A = this chain, B = another copy of it.
Amino acid sequence: MSYEKLEKRFQQLHHLQHLQAICSWDQATMMPDGGNQARGEALAEIALIQHQKLTAPEMQEWLDNAENETLSESQQANLKEIRRRWMNASLLPESLVQARSLAGSRCEHAWRGQRKNHDWKGFEPNLKAVVDLTREAAQIRGEALSLSPYDSLIDLYEPGMTSHTLLKIFNELKTWLPQIIRQAGDIQSKHTPEQPQGPFPISRQKSLGLHAMKLFGFDFNHGRLDISAHPFCGGVPEDVRITTRYDENDFMSSLMGVIHETGHARYEQGLPKEWAGQPAGEARSMAIHESQSLFFEMQIGRHPAFLRKFSPIIKRHFGDDPALDADNLIQIYNKIEPGYIRVDADELTYPAHIILRFEIEQALIEGKIEVKDLPEVWNSKMQQYLGLSTRGKDGLGCMQDIHWTDGSFGYFPSYTLGAMYAAQFAGAIEQEVGDIGSLIESEDGLPHIFDWLRRNVWEKASLMSTDEILTLATGEALNTAWFKRYLEGRYTAE
C-alpha cells in the first residue's frame, strides 16, 4: 500500500527531526561559541536530507495512489497533513532551503551579541540576507498556493489563516481593547504594588521553577529545564526541552516564563502516542501551541486564585517578605503598562506589539519597505500604538525578537490568536467543568483542567483543523467575544 510507504517515510523523517531538534537545543543551551560554524553546517546537511526524503520523486506517486486506497478517518487526516508537508517542502528549490538555513543560523548567532549593544549596523546585513531569501521563498509559495506572498508564510504557522481574516480580527480588537485598557488603568492607578527586592539566588529560582513545573504536571521522565538567551520549548514529544533565563534581581519573569513553556511542553507530551512520528500526530499549529502556553500562563498562572495558592511557596524560597503577599503578586502579575519588549508585555498591550509586527511584516515581505527602514518604521509605530520611542535603542526595538533572525515571518500573529483561543477554551471549561478560580483553589482541580485540555486539544493533534478543534471543544470557531469577556472579567471588575 502506498499509504504505508508514506507512513514509513515519515517515521524516518521523525528520527532525523529528533537529531535536529536535540542539536538545535544544544546549540542554544550548551554549545560553546566556537562550535557554531560546524553546527550550522551539520544542521543544514540534515535539513537538506530531510528535504530530499520529503520531496523524493516517489512521493508524488505514493500520494496520488494513497488517495484511492481505503483509509480510516485518521489515516485520511494523516494523508492530508502529509500532502501539506510535501507541498510546503516541494515548493522551494533545495539550494534556497540550504541558503536560508545557513543565513538564519549565522544571523541568529551574531544577534545574541548584537542585540544588547543595539548594534543595528552589525545586524542589518545579516538580516537583509535572511529577508531577501524569505521574500524569494514567499513569492514562490504564494504563487503555488494561490495566496499572497505574506499569506503563504502565515499559512505555515496557522494553516487556513489569512491576512484578510487577521485584519478583521485585529480591527475588532481595536474597537474595544483601548476601552478595557483605560478602565484597567483607572482601577490600577489606585494601588501601587511593591516590587520584591532581590537578590533572588539563581539556584532558588531554578528550584521554584521546577516546583511550578511539577504543579503544572510536566513529565520529567520525558523532558528537562535549562537556560538559554531566549526561552523556548524544543526537543521532541518523547523528550521535551524547555528553557528559561534568570535575573538575580527579578524572579517573577523567569517564573512566569517557566509556566508558559510548561504549557507548550504539556501539549507536546500529551500528543497521541499512537500517532507519534506522523504529521497527524503533531501539534496542530503554532497558534494552537501558543494557546496552550498562554492558557498555562494567563488563564492559570496569573489568575488571582493561583497566586494566592502559590504565594506561600514563593515565600518558602525567598523569605517572608510582604512584597511576596498574594495581593501584591496579583497586582504585579496583572499590571498593565505599555513597554518596549513584547515578551515582557502585559496581556492587554500585547496585541499592539503583534499588530505592529503584523503590519511591518506584511509591508516588508511585499516589498513596500526595506530592511534599512526597519528602525524608523518600528519607532514610528511604537510611538503611535504605545507612545514609546525606540530611536537608537534597536535592541529594545526591531532587534528584540529571535523570530526574524531565522526568517520566521508570519509567526507573530500566532501569539494573539493563541491568546484568543486560550480564552475561548477557558470559557468552555467554565461552562463544562466549573469556575477556573474554584478549580485552582480545590485540591485536585488543576488535573481536571489539564484533562479537559488533553481530551479536547492535545490528543486532537493534527487529526483535524484548528476550526474543527475549536468548534468541537467550544461550540464555535474563533470568536473574539470570548477574549473580550475574559479580559473584562480579569481587568475591569473591581
Contacts and interface: CB of A to CB of B under 8 A. Distances in A.
A341 B219 CA distance: 36
A34 B238 contact: yes
A42 interface: yes
Contacts of A31: 239
A38 B23 contact: no
A339 to B, nearest CB: 35
Interface in A16-58: 16, 18-20, 22-23, 26, 30-35, 37-39, 41-46, 49
Given A32-B220, A219-B34, A39 B18 contact: yes
A236 interface: yes
A34 B221 contact: yes
A238 B36 CA distance: 8
Contact of A16 (B39, B45, B223): B45
Interface string A317-357: 00000000000000000000000000000000000000000
Given A34-B238, A49-B49, A42 B15 contact: yes
B32 A239 contact: yes
Contacts of A18: 23, 38-39, 41-42
A309 interface: no
B45 A238 contact: no
B16 A224 contact: no
A428 to B, nearest CB: 30
B42 A222 contact: no
Contacts of A221: 32-34
A492 interface: no
A12 interface: yes
A39 B239 CA distance: 9
A23 B19 contact: yes
Contacts of A26: 22, 26
Q: Considering residues A20, A49, A276, which has the most beta carbons from chain B within 10 angstroms of its beta carbon?
A: A49
Contact of A35 (B33, B41, B45, B238): B238
Main secondary structure of the interface of A (DSSP, over half): helix
B224 A32 contact: yes
Contacts of A15: 41-42, 44-46
Contacts of A20: 19
Contacts of A38: 18, 236, 238-239, 276
Interface string A207-237: 0000000000001111110000000000010
Interface in A267-283: 276
Interface in A168-223: 219-223
Nearest to A19: B19
Contacts of A223: 32, 35
Nearest to A44: B15
Nearest to A45: B15
Interface string A233-254: 0001011000000000000000
A42 B19 contact: yes
A12 B239 contact: no
A45 B18 CA distance: 10
Nearest to A43: B19
A31 to B, nearest CB: 6
A236 B30 CA distance: 14
A360 B42 CA distance: 40
Nearest to A53: B49
Contacts of A39: 18, 22, 238-239
Contacts of A220: 32
A421 to B, nearest CB: 28
A238 B37 CA distance: 8
24 contacts: A12-B45, A15-B45, A16-B42, A16-B45, A16-B46, A16-B49, A18-B23, A19-B19, A19-B23, A19-B43, A22-B23, A22-B39, A31-B239, A32-B221, A32-B223, A32-B224, A32-B239, A33-B221, A34-B221, A34-B222, A34-B238, A34-B239, A38-B239, A49-B49
3 A-B pairs with least C-beta separation: A35-B239, A15-B45, A34-B221
Given A16-B42, A35-B236, A38-B276, 8 more contacts: A15-B41, A18-B38, A23-B23, A32-B221, A32-B222, A35-B222, A35-B239, A49-B49
